[in-house]
Amino acid sequence: MKLVQRVDAPILRDGSDDVVFVYSGEEGHRVAVAHFDHKPRESDPVVIDVLELPSSPFDPPHVTVQKHVVVIEQMTGGTMATESTFRFRLNPDQDCMGLIGLDAERYDRMGGNDGYRISWNLLTGKFISQRTWPQGSTKKPAPEHVSKRAPGAVCMALIDQPDDVIDAALEAEPRGR
């Protein structure tokens, strides 16, 4: 795998620099969050958590850090594409980077099929899903479906992929919607 992005930013709230590495290769992408401990050597990062992402014909994931939150944006798929935004924050109880938010939208890049979007706040458990129409459609917007899921951040290495979350939300949708 090849290093494609490095972001140095405070993540752990201890005043020292932390770093997020993004690696890409034929087998997929890897996002690693690390802390630079001063023992045994400052140059040796201690990996906190790693997120494995599927390969994609689009650009590799893009990472930013905003107020100690690691934000990862990725687009996957082909004609039917999924744009995802993950938000992670250190979960000291589990000693990992916990997923605190996920926004994802699946849509037809050619404009022929309906799409679907989700927004999930794992801190409150609020889950919003909505069917979307192709760009230029004259249909009125579909209603948002708001539900509650058990709150709690999930460690970076253990999360479901956004397409799996969208598929589960579609399967749970009441028929005739």
The pLDDT score that the predictor gives to residue 56 is: 86
The pLDDT score that the predictor gives to residue 146 is: 95
Q: Where are the domains of the chain?
A: 2-172
What's the pTM? 0.88
The pLDDT score that the predictor gives to residue 141 is: 79
Token readout for 81 is 């594409």
pLDDT, tens digit (0-9, with 9 covering 90-100), for 80-111? 999 999 999 998 888 899 999 999 999 998 88
The pLDDT score that the predictor gives to residue 176 is: 53
Average pLDDT over residues 148-165: 90
Looking at beta carbons, which pairs linking 52-60 to residues 24 or more positions away fall under 8 Å?
52/28, 52/157, 53/28, 53/29, 53/161, 54/28, 54/29, 54/161, 55/25, 55/26, 55/27, 55/28, 55/29, 56/29, 60/4, 60/5, 60/22, 60/24, 60/29
pLDDT, tens digit (0-9, with 9 covering 90-100), for 120-146? 999 999 999 999 988 778 888 789 999
Give 13: exposed, middle or buried? Use CB within 10 Å, 0-12, 13-18, 19+: exposed
